[in-house]
């Protein structure tokens, strides 16, 4: 059974989740050498810290949605990092609708878009 979230609710949780990310994001998830593979990237460490913060402060539905959207933001940034390694971007550059598409493709998640209501 899919978990369904409406676009407006998604937007509220997206705003909450993106506010937990630093204002400047370093796109460094792609490893360029064997040494990089052994060390966690800044992006991965940031994502894991945000997940830990959410787990310690949020419960139930809020935790499920916030964690899922945070994972979507992380995937979006990792995808961007494949082409822009070492570039710093503002968190405002994270495309909410691209993250929505990512979450919509997760198993057991469905984002109900306004135009489909």
For residue 43, give its domain range: 3-116
Task: Count Cβ atoms below 10 Å from residue 39 Cβ, excluding itself.
Answer: 11
Q: How many domains does the chain divide into? A: 1
Claim: this prediction has a pTM higher than 0.85? no
- The pLDDT tens digits of the residues spanning 40-83 come to 688 888 999 998 888 887 788 888 899 999 999 999 998 888 87
Q: Name the nearest CA neighbour of 88 among 23, 21, 20, 27.
A: 27
Predicted confidence at residue 88, as pLDDT, reads 83
What's CA 77's distance to the chain center, in Å?
7
| Beta bridge mates, 25 | 89
Q: What are phi and psi of 86, to 5 degrees?
A: 85, -5
Predicted confidence at residue 72, as pLDDT, reads 95
Rounded Cα gap, residues 88 and 26, in angstroms: 4
């Amino acid at each position: 059974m899919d978990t369904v979230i409406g676009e407006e609710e998604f937007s509220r949780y997206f705003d909450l989740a993106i506010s937990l990310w630093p204002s400047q994001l370093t796109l460094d998830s792609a490893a360029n050498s064997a040494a990089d593979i052994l060390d966690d990237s800044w992006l991965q460490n940031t994502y894991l810290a945000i997940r830990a913060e959410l787990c310690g402060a949020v419960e139930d539905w809020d935790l499920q949605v916030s964690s899922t959207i945070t994972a979507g933001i992380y995937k979006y940034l990792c995808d961007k990092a494949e082409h822009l390694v070492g570039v710093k971007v503002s968190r405002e550059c994270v495309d909410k609708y691209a993250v929505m598409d990512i979450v919509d493709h997760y198993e057991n998640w469905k984002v109900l878009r306004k135009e489909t209501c």
